[in-house]
Structure 1
Amino acid sequence: MEEKHAAANESAHAESNGVSHGADHGWQKVTYAKKQKKKTVNAANSADSRANSNKLVPNGTLSGNDGVFRSLELQSEDRRRKIVEAKKLADAAYDDEDAPLRSKQRHHDDDEYDYDDENVDRSAENGKAEEAKKVKQKKPKKPKVTVAEAAAKIDAADLGAFLVEISGSFEEQQDILMMRFTDYFGRAFSAVTASQFPWVKLFRESTVAKITDTPLSHISDAVYKTSMDWINQRSPEALSTFLIWSLDSILADLGSQQNVAKGSKKAVQQVSSKSQVAMFVVLAMVLRRKPDALISVLPTLRESTKYQGLDKLPVIVWMIAQAAVGDLSVGLYAWARNLLPIVIGKSGNPQSRDLVLQLVEKILSTPKARPVLVNSAVRKGERLIPSSAFEILVRVTFPPSSTRVKATERFEAIYPTLKEVALGGSAGSKAMKQVALQIFSFAIKAAGESMQT
């Protein structure tokens, strides 16, 4: 027995010193002397036993005496194998999704493709595309429409139907009727820009004779007659109110343009200049058809500083010229009361005197003006040229020789006709006696001033 134990120990010691680094992964197999006897029998099968040592048997154990340890190792290897296979499947799916990108990258690596150049090209293409879009987004410029072109499109029949409609709707609201009437022409001239109707420049640089027909000369006869017939049915009060309203609108536009020219940042209520075409058209028609409406607003224009000043004078002159077209006597009546006093007033200067003279010269140059005015010397109990105006006329026509100016000769030319109108009337009438007394009083006063000088 001792020999057997010794032999077994020696065998185990030998095997422990000869550590195997094979398939047993360092685990050592213990054998006994009894099994040594069977080595010869099992020698032929030893290779097969080692070959099958890692194979599973039906009961889930490993063959051989190291089955427990090998089972743990195989389970671990199986888990690692599954992890590797799952990772391969994930990599394969990622490769399929990014194949185009990798293909481009391989192309970049193989052919030394310059990716930065591609970005530059794309940026250039994008820039051209954006530039093309901007060009396409630009709205085509609208063709310029002149006052004449816009006026030619106004249909008299359409205007007549419009006037019938609003007259039925606002029969008792005359002020609203006049505004709606103006709105119709405002729409008709809405395409006319301010550059096509620079009325401020036109009034400042043109003669009174030229601006008198501006812009009414472009209105067709049919439209003009339709409008005049409708205006004739409006009340004097509504027309007088309209005159002040439209004049305020025109002067507001004048003030706005002056502020823009001066570079002022002050906010101003600005009325669109293109709407002023309609305002001038309607205002001119009202003044020509109902000139008496001007007489009722003359005191307001004369007394309010709102309507005074050299910059506003061309507009006032234009209004009186329109009334004179409708009735010469109304034109001279307004001239003598509202314009002639300016000549000797604080605002009197060569420019203002020229405008005042241009208007009266135009009135007196009208065919048959002298007989018409002389016969209308007294209008509704009032003289066209009151004694106060006649006194001013004498002073500016016959000034001291040292104060004569260029305008003096022009006053001398119109004086005979104006004197005849100022002194016109039935001889021996009460009105003539009053005029005689006023002139006599003025003559005495003038003679005293002459003696003092």
Structure 2
Amino acid sequence: MEESYESYPSEEQQIAALEAAHATANPDHGWQKVTYAKKQRKQKPQTAADPAGKINGVLVGHDKGNVFKSLEQQSEERRRRILEAETTPNAAATTARAGRSRDRSDDDSDDDDDSDDARVSKENGKGGEEKKVKQKKPKKPKITVSEAAAKIDESDLAAFLLDISASYEGQQEIQLMRFADYFGRAFSVVSSAQFPWVKLFRENPLTKIADVPLSYISEPVFKTSIDWISQHSVEALGSFLLWCVDGILADLASQQGGPKASKKGGQQTSSKSQVAIFVVLAMVLRRKPDALISILPTLKETSKYQGQDKLPVIVWMVAQASQADLAVGLFSWAHNLLAIVSGKNNNPQSRDLILQLVEKILAAPKARTILVNGAVRRGERLVPPSALEMLLRVTFPTSSARVKATERFEAIYHTLKEVALAGSTGSKAMRQVAQQILTFSLKAAGESKHS
């Protein structure tokens, strides 16, 4: 029997029924998961048989009634999508555009990141170039020895010396060290380039360097210093002289690139403090020249004080003592330095420097009178017979052994011989001298006979 038109459900009823059926079949209540177009393209296509039991979107494994029911549900889904598209015609487009917009945003963001990275890299590159350009440090003003010496205040020095004398009473070595420290601080602003003492000693005659660097010290500062030095014993001053010499030779070794003296027991000093060491050394030698005589055996017998490179320092020291006492100067020359000239290792430079020293001593005002009258000092002769023998050898060599320095020895020989033979005739001291002279004269005659 055919159903009448009136008994057929209306469109609204059909839609309501389909919605109820669709709600039962779709537990997500019509909501769909939005995915990006790019990600959908990357997904793999469904296989012929998937876990949902569909083949090409059609359910399998059910009875025929269920198949028609599935077809009705699919028809209802299509109808619902049409209705949703009519009520919100721009929803899908909006969703698609939003997805594309987000994709573009991500792409733009990546581009922006790339551009930012490029910009930062460029800026870093510029910054790196700027870092390579080192800023020049402002040059420190060069302070000369005379400028530093001029800033030493005599009253301040006097107060300092009074303080250390009270603080270290009975400890003369410490007092002398502190005395050197005071001048070390005063001259610490002077660079080694302003006082290249090695070059000065090597390239200048003794007459030009004898007063360096003491000539820069003012008279009040010098007088305050030597008055304080006079209060110390010869023994303490002798130890202080060796300390100063060790410091100078340590600096010499460092400038020559050799092993530093500080590794062998001496103290390590900076080139900047050498001005102070020379200043205090000269002050002691000029105020207490006998302190030099007390250390002559050490300078003669210790290897670290010997050698061509150390000779200018030793000669300079003797020249300082000679400023105060010509007899001490000649004594040091005859007992320590003359042997170098007559030795096998002598050379023109050594001979010249040693001759400069004795010529300077003998050229001093009234030098002959002073030396002849003081020919004996503390029981020792200024020019002992052994020194006279060496003097004879270098003054009167064989004709083949004559050198340029021979004439210079001939010029000073008569004065030195007079000092060597000075004394009361017939005295016990002179009889000893005569006997020694006779001994080496016979020896020299025998050598001449066999030559």
Using the size of structure 2 for normalisation, the TM-score is 0.75
**Residue number among 295, 298, 301 corresponding to 2:299 in the alignment:** 301
Give the match for residue 376 of structure 1: 374
CA shift, 1:346, in A, is 3.0
Are 1:291 and 2:289 matched, yes or no? yes
The 8 Å contact of residues 338 and 354 in structure 2, kept in 1 or not, is answered as: yes
**Residue number among 147, 154, 157 corresponding to 1:156 in the alignment:** 154
Equivalent residue runs for 1:125-144 within 5 Å? 126=127, 130=131, 135=135, 138-144=136-142
Equivalent residue runs for 1:233-244 within 5 Å? 233-244=231-242
Which range moved further: 140-149 or 284-293?
140-149
CA shift, 1:127, in A, is 5.0
Give the match for residue 389 of structure 2: 391
CA shift, 1:11, in A, is 5.7
The 8 Å contact of residues 310 and 347 in structure 1, kept in 2 or not, is answered as: no
**Residue number among 124, 138, 146 corresponding to 2:144 in the alignment:** 146
Which range moved further: 436-445 or 401-410?
436-445
Distance 2:8 2:375 in 1: 158
Give the match for residue 412 of structure 1: 410
Give the match for residue 24 of structure 1: 16
Equivalent residue runs for 1:334-373 within 5 Å? 334-373=332-371
Structure-2 change in CA distance of 1:26 and 1:369 (3 Å): same
CA RMSD of aligned residues (A): 3.7
**Residue number among 205, 208, 211 corresponding to 1:207 in the alignment:** 205
CA shift, 1:75, in A, is 9.8
Distance 1:189 1:13 in 2: 127
Structure-2 change in CA distance of 1:194 and 1:13 (3 Å): farther
Structure-2 change in CA distance of 1:155 and 1:25 (3 Å): farther
- 1:15-45 superposed Cα distances (whole Å, 9 cap, x missing partner): 48x9889753725xxxxxxxxxxxxxxxxxx
Q: The residue matched to 1:256 in structure 2 has which SS?
A: helix
Distance 1:416 1:359 in 2: 17
Distance 1:289 1:397 in 2: 34
The 8 Å contact of residues 20 and 26 in structure 1, kept in 2 or not, is answered as: no
CA shift, 1:452, in A, is 2.8
Percent of matched pairs sharing the same residue: 61
Structure-2 change in CA distance of 1:213 and 1:76 (3 Å): same
Give the match for residue 311 of structure 1: 309
Letter in 2 for 1:246: C
The 8 Å contact of residues 383 and 422 in structure 1, kept in 2 or not, is answered as: yes
Structure-2 change in CA distance of 1:267 and 1:432 (3 Å): closer
* 5+ residue gaps, structure 2: 34-104
Which range moved further: 217-226 or 201-210?
201-210
Q: Which has the larger radius of gyration?
A: 1
- 1:55-79 superposed Cα distances (whole Å, 9 cap, x missing partner): xxxxxxxxxxx7x988999994799
* 5+ residue gaps, structure 1: 1-5, 28-65, 81-101
The 8 Å contact of residues 23 and 30 in structure 2, kept in 1 or not, is answered as: no
CA shift, 1:440, in A, is 2.3
Distance 1:350 1:438 in 2: 30
- 1:360-392 superposed Cα distances (whole Å, 9 cap, x missing partner): 001011111111111100111111000000010
Number of aligned residues? 378
Letter in 2 for 1:196: Q
CA shift, 1:348, in A, is 1.0
Equivalent residue runs for 1:168-207 within 5 Å? 168-207=166-205
Which range moved further: 316-325 or 203-212?
203-212
Q: The residue matched to 1:157 in structure 2 has which SS?
A: helix
The 8 Å contact of residues 382 and 420 in structure 2, kept in 1 or not, is answered as: yes
Distance 2:359 2:319 in 1: 11
Distance 2:220 2:317 in 1: 23
Equivalent residue runs for 1:21-100 within 5 Å? 23-24=15-16, 26-27=18-19, 76=29
- 1:176-226 superposed Cα distances (whole Å, 9 cap, x missing partner): 000000000000000111111111111111111112111111111011001
Letter in 1 for 2:421: L
Structure-2 change in CA distance of 1:73 and 1:284 (3 Å): same
Structure-2 change in CA distance of 1:118 and 1:443 (3 Å): closer
Distance 2:385 2:149 in 1: 44
CA shift, 1:117, in A, is 7.8
CA shift, 1:402, in A, is 1.4
CA shift, 1:130, in A, is 4.8
Q: The residue matched to 1:399 in structure 2 has which SS?
A: coil
The 8 Å contact of residues 23 and 29 in structure 2, kept in 1 or not, is answered as: no
Q: The residue matched to 1:449 in structure 2 has which SS?
A: helix
Structure-2 change in CA distance of 1:428 and 1:12 (3 Å): farther
